[in-house]
A and B are shown apart, each in its own frame.
Chain A
């Protein structure tokens, strides 16, 4: 196979890692909404924890993105 083509395929495959991050962020927000609709008065105090969890999960997706860029441009 042409090395250039293999590089593009590899970069595309690397971005598949974002699937996990997408599922994870979805789970976090679904959990937050379930809790928030049951007890709306406690929802405001958990905003920081919500964003913190989403950010920590999202970092793994960003790692996949950076890996794709590394494969593509190196």
Chain B
């Protein structure tokens, strides 16, 4: 059977000279298949949004309806979670959602899955948590630490609660990165393993005799691949949605700190 992890290997397409950053070390600046996939995703988003807003009309055409639908979907989501201040953070959440969605979908359309690289998802998670920290300290100052002290807790169990809250906050970037990475990696490995069953059972059937029993097995595995592909399209959307929702929830924690809207 083919190695299911082979699809996640990084290849250099254009080898650019190394870049040395003082204090950090040498960085390989090569243009890889992962970079290509991310570039295609970004270009597709820009082209799509440029087409949508090229000739805006009061009565929208088909393309404009799609663009406005995506836009208002995320707008409603952000406003529902953060409240009336959501518009300030909307550009970031919208970009995050579209970028992750496009990278997930490109992985299903014969391109490299950029979101199956921990480096990519960890960077997106780090940017999100960095934004949460910056917004939290800028808006609340040292009152940011009230995030770890929920109100209405008896004084005796407060130390325990604070400890749990701190650990849960520190785990946020890790789970944010690992969720997207794990879902994409797991889904693509499962699809590859089932596709490998089709080939190996077909080879068994080609031997004739008792091996002919491999034909129904191969047909079953092929049906499994089709079903898994459909499931992966759902997961690709859901994970982008979840990433955007969690970015909203974490921002809401620091934007509306101490008072619920």
Contacts and interface: CB of A to CB of B under 8 A. Distances in A.
B226 interface: no
Contact of A55 (B77, B80, B246): B246
Contacts of B185: 69
- Range of interface residues on A (Cβ < 8 Å): 10 to 19
Contacts of A58: 179, 183
A65 interface: yes
A55 B178 contact: no
Given A48-B77, A48-B81, A65-B186, A55 B249 contact: no
B46 interface: no
B246 A52 contact: yes
B178 A62 contact: yes
Which of A51, A52, A55, A62 has the most chain B CB atoms inside 10 A of its CB?
Answer: A55
B238 A51 contact: yes
Contact of A63 (B178, B238, B245): B178
Interface of A: 48, 51-52, 55-56, 58-59, 62-63, 65-66, 69
- 9 smallest beta-carbon distances between A and B, as pairs: A62-B182, A55-B242, A59-B175, A59-B179, A65-B182, A62-B178, A62-B179, A52-B245, A66-B178
